[in-house]
C-alpha cells in the first residue's frame, strides 16, 4: 500500500499568517491527491482535488501544488475559521490512503 | 442537496456482528462510488470499503477483507456494511462518503470523497 506522510503533525500560527503543510507519498501518485479539512465533531470537507484543483465553494486563500511524491497545501492568509485538522489522501490506487493529519492551532 | 445519513452503530462484543446502513439522496448516485471511511476518535481517517453503485463492483481495505461486506439496495437508495468477526481495533466512527469520480470501478482505481455523512459510532468491547 502507498503510505502518506504529512508534516508537521502540529502547526501553531496566527491569523494572517501564510502556512504550508507538506504531504509525501511512498511512491509516485502522479497528481491523484486530495486535501480535506476537518473540524472537531464534524465530517471532513474536501478542499483540493487532483493536487491543485480548488473544490467549488472553497476560498481562494487555499491552494495546492505538487506531483509525483511531494505535495503542499498552502493557506495564504489564515482566517479564524481555518484552525482545524488537515488531511491529504491519495487516490492513485484503490486503497485510498490518508496522511496522519496536521493540526493547525492558534498561536 | 446531497445527503448521506448513517445508522446502525452501537456497542458490540468482540467476535460478534453489526450491520451499518447509509441512506443516500440528492444526486445521480448510479454514476458514482459510495464508500465507508472510519476514524478512531482523536485519530486519523481510514478508508474501509467502497462500491460502484451501478455495477456493484466492490473493494476493501486489507484489514477488513474477509470480515466486512459492502452492499447496496438500489430500490431503497441505501448502502450497507455488514461487519463480522469484529475486533476491538474496529472501534471507530464510521462515515458514509460519496465518491467524486464518475463511472468509477472502485476495485481498480482510487476515489476522493466530496460529500460525507455525520457518521455512526461502533464500539467493540467486552
User: Where residue B28 falls among pLDDT bands split at 50, 70, 90?
Assistant: confident
| Assigned C-alpha cell, A46 | 474536501
CB contact under 8 A, A44 and B107: no
Q: Mind listing the pLDDT tens digit for each residue in B100-114?
A: 998 888 888 999 999
User: Where residue B27 falls among pLDDT bands split at 50, 70, 90?
Assistant: confident
Q: Specify which residues B36 forms β-bridges with.
A: B49, B96
| Assigned C-alpha cell, A44 | 471532513
pLDDT of residue B3: 96
Distance CA A83, CA B44 (A): 17
Q: Which of B44, B108, B116 shows the shortest C-beta gap to A98?
A: B44
| Assigned C-alpha cell, B56 | 456493484
> Which of A94, A98, A99, A100 best tests the B interface by mutation, with the highest count of B CBs <10 A?
A94
pLDDT of residue A61: 98
pLDDT tops 80 at residue B29: no
Q: Which of A1, A87, A96 shows the shortest C-beta gap to B111?
A: A96
A45-64 residues touching B, CB cutoff 8 A: 45-46, 49, 55
Instruction: Give B5 to chain A, closest Cα distance, Å.
Output: 12
CB contact under 8 A, A43 and B119: yes
pLDDT of residue B40: 97
Distance CA B125, CA A89 (A): 30
Please identify every stretch of chain A with a pLDDT value under 50, giving residue numbers as ranges: none
CA dihedral over B29, B55, B95, B101, signed as positive or negative: negative
The rounded percent of chain B whose pLDDT value lies above 70 is 99
User: Where residue B30 falls among pLDDT bands split at 50, 70, 90?
Assistant: confident
CB contact under 8 A, B106 and A94: yes
pLDDT of residue B101: 92
What's the whole-number mean pLDDT along residues B55-69?
96
Other Cβ atoms within 10 Å of A67 Cβ, number: 15
CB contact under 8 A, B47 and A95: yes
Q: Is B14 exposed, middle or buried (0-12, 13-18, 19+ CB in 10 A)?
A: middle
| Residue B88 backbone phi and psi in degrees, to 5 | -60, -30
Q: Is any Cβ of chain A less than 8 angstroms from the Cβ of B63?
A: no
Amino acid at each position: 500500500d502507498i503510505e502518506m506522510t504529512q508534516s508537521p503533525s502540529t502547526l501553531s500560527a496566527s491569523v494572517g499568517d501564510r502556512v504550508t503543510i507538506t504531504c509525501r507519498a511512498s511512491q509516485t501518485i502522479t497528481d491523484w491527491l486530495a486535501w480535506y479539512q476537518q473540524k472537531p465533531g464534524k465530517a471532513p470537507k474536501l478542499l483540493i482535488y487532483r493536487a491543485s484543483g480548488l473544490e467549488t465553494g472553497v476560498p481562494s486563500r487555499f491552494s495546492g501544488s505538487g506531483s509525483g511524491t511531494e505535495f503542499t497545501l498552502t493557506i495564504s492568509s489564515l482566517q479564524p475559521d481555518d484552525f482545524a485538522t488537515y488531511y491529504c489522501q491519495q487516490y492513485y490506487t484503490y486503497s485510498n490512503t490518508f496522511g496522519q493529519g496536521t493540526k493547525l492551532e492558534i498561536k | 442537496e446531497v445527503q448521506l445519513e448513517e445508522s446502525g452503530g452501537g456497542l458490540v462484543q468482540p467476535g460478534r456482528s453489526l450491520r451499518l446502513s447509509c441512506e443516500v439522496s440528492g444526486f445521480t448516485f448510479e454514476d458514482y462510488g459510495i464508500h465507508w471511511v472510519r476514524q478512531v476518535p482523536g485519530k486519523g481517517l481510514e478508508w474501509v470499503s467502497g462500491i460502484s453503485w451501478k455495477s456493484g463492483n466492490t473493494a476493501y481495505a486489507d484489514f477488513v477483507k474477509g470480515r466486512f461486506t459492502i452492499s447496496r439496495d438500489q430500490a431503497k437508495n441505501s448502502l450497507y456494511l455488514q461487519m463480522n468477526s469484529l475486533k476491538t481495533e474496529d472501534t471507530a466512527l464510521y462515515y458514509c462518503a460519496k465518491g467524486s469520480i464518475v463511472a468509477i470501478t472502485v476495485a481498480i482505481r482510487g476515489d476522493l470523497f466530496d460529500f460525507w455523512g455525520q457518521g455512526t459510532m461502533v464500539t467493540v468491547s467486552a
